[in-house]
């Protein structure tokens, strides 16, 4: 399955945007609200997150496109 573009918001820092596989996104959403750390494998590398500091997550449904006449 294609990678998902997500953004993650935190209590005391700017959001982080990255692309993750659907199975990684599923594991991350199940871990939200928990304690401790979660390792998220993205296209660009590994992100270690302190779960109590994650405030929100946004999953973008469609790829962004630039240009005229795209259908």
**CATH 2.30.30 is right for the domain spanning 4-60:** yes
48 touches 38 (CB < 8 A): yes
- The per-residue pLDDT for range 15-68, each reduced to its tens digit, is 999 999 999 999 999 999 999 999 999 998 999 999 999 999 999 986 666 666
1: pLDDT strictly greater than 60 = no
pLDDT bucket at 2, cuts 50 / 70 / 90: confident
Helices (H), ranges, 2-60: 22-31
């Amino acid at each position: 399955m294609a990678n998902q573009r997500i953004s993650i918001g935190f209590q005391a820092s700017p959001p982080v945007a990255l692309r993750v596989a659907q199975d990684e996104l599923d594991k991350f959403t199940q871990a939200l609200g928990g304690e401790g750390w979660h390792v998220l494998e993205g296209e660009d590398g590994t992100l270690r997150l302190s779960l109590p500091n994650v405030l929100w997550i946004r999953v973008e449904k469609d790829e962004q496109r630039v240009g005229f006449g795209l259908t």
